[in-house]
């Protein structure tokens, strides 16, 4: 089995910690390890480092080498620039086709998710590999523990294989009432963005459901054959449609199954989610610096200074040498609008 870790995003909802020079997946989150390091570590017991690949953008490749010094250099697949998950996966498969047999199962997963139960995750991974080798496109569905409106959902049907259920449909992020109705049925799972398939099956799916991407990848292969893997593929890659793998493949495919998993998963999509994985004091405050709090609960602090709080509840205070973010936890996802404004103003010094 091989693994492909997607590590090309910028994590705009983690500004000002996440910047172009240090995106979210390279941030240290626990035990002095970055998210991308933890992603590799949880795979190593069953997949050797020589069979783990990282796909990233050209401007982040050096960070990958710094964080994963044991990863062979040829195991880093470089996008000229980010074009969403369908193109990045297709490019990676085109590269891996030259190195592995068509029947080889591969897991594809983001670099910036957290999983608490690594052992259980690996057990599900082995199950997913067996399903992938019979021709299925497998996705991991997270067993929901509350009616989340920030995740997409997978509607499941009857059992097809061991632990694998038929996929009825993919649902976009719902409103609160819809999310509550999903949970009542017991047939809906959060869409994790983790997939397992064989090289042969996903290649056939791209050829059938996203032929424009497939043909562009063939053009890239011809260029690689002529000029090597360092060839400038940017003019071809720029023509890729900017679509996620869900829309490009999974919503259209018929040979798809979902494995429901309960592995302590979070996509760590905002500071509110990040706060959940850090230790807290008796008042549920989390701070990496000295904190004195009066009548304050549930706050998330990241600063290199002494912090005093009075009457604060459920806020995020994030300080870097050049910026400060202060937001209620329940509005933490709006940080991306700050990044949009900085781009419009040409404030590259803060991006």
In this prediction, residue 282 carries a pLDDT of 95
The whole-number average pLDDT for the span 311-333 is 94
**124/42 Cα distance (integer angstroms):** 13
Q: How confident is the model at residue 18 (pLDDT cuts 50, 70, 90)?
A: confident
Of the two residues 55 and 14, the one the predictor is more confident about is 55
Mean pLDDT of 110-126: 94
Handedness of CA 45, 134, 139, 236 (dihedral sign): positive
Regarding pTM above 0.85, the answer is yes
148-169 tens-digit pLDDT: 888 899 999 999 988 899 999 9
Classify burial at 224, counting beta carbons within 10 Å of its beta carbon; exposed 0-12, middle 13-18, buried 19 or more: middle
Average pLDDT of the segment spanning 96-101 = 95
Beta strands in 288-331 (DSSP E): 291-294, 300-302, 307-310, 315-320, 323-328
pLDDT at 231 over 80: yes
Confidence grade of residue 24 (pLDDT, cut at 50, 70, 90): confident
Give pLDDT, residue 8. 78
Backbone angles phi and psi of 154, in degrees to 5: -115, 125
Percent of the chain with pLDDT over 70: 99
pLDDT reported for residue 31: 63
The whole-number average pLDDT for the span 90-106 is 96
Give the residue-averaged pLDDT of 60-74. 95
**Structural domains of the chain, ranges and CATH numbers in brackets:** 2-266 (3.90.550.10), 271-350 (no CATH)
pLDDT band at 56; cut points 50, 70, 90: very high
11-25, 121-135, 335-349: least confident range: 11-25
pLDDT score of 30 more than 70: no
**d(Cα 164, Cα 141) in Å, to the nearest integer?**
10
pLDDT at 23 over 70: yes
Under DSSP, is residue 45 helix (H, G, I), strand (E, B) or coil?
coil
272 vs 284: CA distance, rounded Å: 13
Average pLDDT over residues 186-193: 95
Q: In the predicted model, what is the mean pLDDT of the chain?
A: 93
Query: Could you say which DSSP state residue 338 is in?
Result: H
pLDDT level of residue 223 (50, 70, 90 thresholds): very high
Q: How high is the pLDDT of residue 162?
A: 80
10 has a pLDDT exceeding 90:
no
**Which of the residue ranges 80-84, 128-132, 275-279, 329-333 would you say has the lowest mean pLDDT?**
275-279
Using left for φ > 0, alpha for ψ between -120 and 50, and beta otherwise, residue 187 falls in alpha
> Is a pLDDT exceeding 80 seen at residue 85?
yes
Fill in the DSSP letter of residue 224.
H
pLDDT greater than 80 at residue 52 = yes
In this prediction, residue 94 carries a pLDDT of 96
* Contact status, residue 52 vs residue 6, Cβ threshold 8 Å: no
Report the pLDDT value the prediction gives residue 141, as an integer from 0 to 100: 96
- 141, containing H or E segment: strand 137-142
Here the tokens at position 95 are 């590269």
* CB count in 10 Å sphere of residue 349: 8
Least confident of 35-39, 87-91, 141-145, 271-275: 271-275
Q: So what's the pLDDT on residue 188?
A: 96
292-299 long-range contacts (CB < 8 A, ≥24 apart) are 298/329
């Amino acid at each position: 089995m091989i693994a492909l870790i997607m590590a090309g995003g910028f994590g705009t909802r983690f500004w000002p910690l996440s910047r172009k020079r240090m995106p979210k997946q390279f941030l240290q989150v626990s035990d002095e390890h970055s998210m991308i390091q933890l992603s590799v570590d949880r795979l190593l017991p069953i997949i050797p480092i020589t069979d783990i690949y990282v796909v990233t953008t050209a401007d982040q490749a050096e960070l990958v080498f710094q964080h994963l010094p044991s990863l062979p250099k040829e195991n880093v697949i470089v996008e000229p620039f980010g074009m969403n998950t369908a193109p990045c996966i297709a490019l990676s498969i085109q590269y891996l086709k030259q190195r592995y047999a068509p029947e080889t199962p591969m897991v594809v997963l983001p670099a910036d998710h957290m999983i608490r139960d690594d052992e259980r995750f690996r057990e599900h991974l082995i199950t997913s590999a067996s399903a992938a080798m019979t021709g299925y496109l497998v996705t991991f569905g997270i067993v929901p523990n509350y009616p989340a409106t920030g995740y997409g959902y997978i509607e499941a049907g009857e059992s097809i294989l061991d632990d694998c259920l038929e996929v009825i449909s993919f649902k976009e992020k719902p409103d609160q009432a819809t999310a509550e109705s999903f949970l009542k049925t017991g047939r809906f799972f959060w869409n994790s963005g983790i997939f397992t398939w064989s090289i042969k099956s996903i290649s056939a799916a791209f050829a059938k459901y996203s032929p424009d991407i497939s043909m562009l990848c063939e053009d890239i292969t011809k260029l690689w054959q002529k000029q090597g893997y360092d060839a400038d593929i940017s003019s071809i890659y720029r023509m890729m449609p900017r679509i996620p793998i869900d829309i490009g493949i999974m919503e259209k495919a018929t040979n798809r199954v979902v494995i429901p998993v309960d592995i302590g998963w979070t996509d760590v999509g905002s500071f509110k989610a990040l706060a959940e994985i850090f230790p807290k004091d008796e008042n549920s405050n989390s701070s990496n610096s000295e904190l004195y709090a009066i009548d304050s609960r549930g706050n998330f602090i990241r600063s290199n200074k002494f912090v005093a709080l009075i009457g604060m509840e459920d806020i995020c205070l994030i300080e870097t040498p050049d910026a400060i973010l202060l937001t209620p936890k329940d509005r933490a996802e709006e940080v991306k609008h700050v990044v949009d404004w900085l781009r419009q103003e040409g404030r590259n010094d803060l991006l």
